[in-house]
Amino acid sequence: MQIFSVGGAIRDALLHLPVKDKDWVVVGATPEKMTQLGYQTVGKDFPVFLHPKSREEYALARTERKTAPGYKGFVVHASPGVTLEEDLARRDLTINAMALAEEHATLLTPLNSEIAGANFGQIFAAHGIDPYGGLKDLAAQTLRHVTPAFREDPVRILRVARFAARFPQFSIAPETMHLMQDMVKASEVEHLVPERVWQELAKGLMAAKPSRMFEVLKECGALQVLLPEVNRLWGVPQRAEYHPEIDTGIHLMMVLDMSAHLQTSLSVRVACLMHDLGKGTTPQDEWPRHIAHEQRSVKLLNQVCERLRIPVDCKELSEVVAREHGNIHRSQDLNADALMRLLERCDAIRKPERWFDILQACECDARGRLGFDHNDYEPAKRLKEVLKAALSVTTSTIAEQAQKQGLSGPAVGEKIHEARVIAIAQLKA
């Protein structure tokens, strides 16, 4: 029985990055042997175990064979006879197909990752296992598939795109891009399980340069299959005085990268992705204007969220941002009553913390334009104060006074609304 550290821990240590998660492969063992040693079974489809002390995952070396389209149609073979090289061959990229025996992997801990980065290169050079040239590709900053078995799991297309977003300085090997394009043409992507698609998209959205993920998916043709609502934005023009970059698809990529620059949450980044989908359905004879694109965007994003089973918090924030981002951009022209109605439509009184997410998504939209990336977003500053003024109204006192006047129900709510409008008007004055 031999144990090896594999995958991302090796890659990140060689890149002098913090080692957050460690994966281990066990060669020459059986499930019965693992349980006898105190490991706890956690894998349903694959033979995976938790270490009795560290609780890290240990997987038996395995091979996989596709039996049906999509992610679930696999037969997994795990036995003491499966070699480490066979296990590494089933992995996606060469930079994720390197390994190091357990006795040489002691530096791979989150607490001393800087030390690991400084010394790990020498350790790996002396003791590393790299049958598929991962170290060479890491030095060349190249994302390359390990073997032709890559095509057996179309999720790997999304993983390549996600790694391109995480490591934007890396290029994709031409033969890997060609393989991905062939997989799309063979309709492999059409069979992907929605949960897996969303899982990879979410990770890519949270990467250093989210635009790279979508650009890679577009280049190989997978974006048209998975997110046609996004794919159709390229080539759609906008008014140059507002969008010097003109192309709506380019604008969207700039917005996503601004969301990464501002270190926003996942729900904000999803809202950025969805905010302009309606522009892709504007009739060409109306270009470069996009009248009522907000309402079309809401309809389209709801279809996307249902299809990919995107979490409710992401969906709800996206709806508000898509519907109201134009009003928020133009909020300096709104009077106190209109500002209060804006707060109410955004449910900002009940969910003040989400109001800041809405404003952040709108800031990404405003600054995600050619030449606007360093600009301050004044509406956010003003609208935070507007909400603060509205929340300063003591509603209990107003409700008591209204009840003394014989008012109830909606009439009390109207009195509270009027008081909040007055507070906002005083702020603007």
The whole-angstrom separation of Cα 123 and Cα 112 is 15
The whole-angstrom separation of Cα 268 and Cα 360 is 7
109 pLDDT higher than 70 = no
116 pLDDT higher than 60 = no
Lowest-pLDDT range, 163-172, 250-259, 296-305, 388-397? 388-397
Mean pLDDT of 81-110: 88
Mean pLDDT of 184-192: 94
With 0-12 CB in 10 A as exposed, 13-18 as middle and 19+ as buried, what is 387?
buried
Average pLDDT score, the chain? 92
In tens, the pLDDT along 266-284 reads 999 999 999 999 999 999 9
Check if the beta carbon of residue 233 is closer than 8 Å to that of residue 256: no
The whole-angstrom separation of Cα 167 and Cα 142 is 10
Q: What token pair was written down for 314?
A: 């992401």
**Residue recorded with tokens 């709800």:** 316
Mean pLDDT of 124-134: 93
249 pLDDT higher than 70 = yes
Four-residue CA torsion sign, 106, 112, 113, 117: negative
- 307 or 53, which is more confident? 307
**Residue 51 CA: distances (Å) to CA of 23, 37, 62, 257, 422:** 11, 9, 18, 39, 62
Mean pLDDT of 340-351: 97
Residue 126 confidence class, pLDDT cut points 50, 70, 90: confident
Q: What is the full DSSP assignment across 170-186? A: -EE-HHHHHHHHHHHHT
72 pLDDT higher than 80 = no
**CA 150, 273, 192: angle at the middle one, nearest 5?**
30
> In angstroms, how far is CA 382 from the centroid of its own chain?
29
The whole-angstrom separation of Cα 414 and Cα 422 is 12
The whole-angstrom separation of Cα 373 and Cα 367 is 5
**CA 124, 138, 172: angle at the middle one, nearest 5?**
155
- pLDDT computed for residue 75 by the predictor: 63
- pLDDT computed for residue 352 by the predictor: 96
171 pLDDT higher than 70 = yes
The whole-angstrom separation of Cα 226 and Cα 230 is 9
Residue 248 confidence class, pLDDT cut points 50, 70, 90: very high
> Could you count the other beta carbons within 10 Å of the beta carbon of residue 117?
18
348 pLDDT higher than 80 = yes
**CA 253, 221, 8: angle at the middle one, nearest 5?**
70
- pLDDT computed for residue 375 by the predictor: 96
In tens, the pLDDT along 310-333 reads 999 999 999 999 999 999 999 999
Lowest-pLDDT range, 16-20, 97-101, 169-173, 230-234? 16-20
Mean pLDDT of 33-37: 93
- pLDDT computed for residue 429 by the predictor: 54
The whole-angstrom separation of Cα 367 and Cα 359 is 12
pTM for the whole structure: 0.92
- pLDDT computed for residue 111 by the predictor: 42
In tens, the pLDDT along 46-68 reads 789 999 988 889 999 988 766 55
Report which DSSP code applies to 123: H
- 199 or 396, which is more confident? 199
369 pLDDT higher than 70 = yes
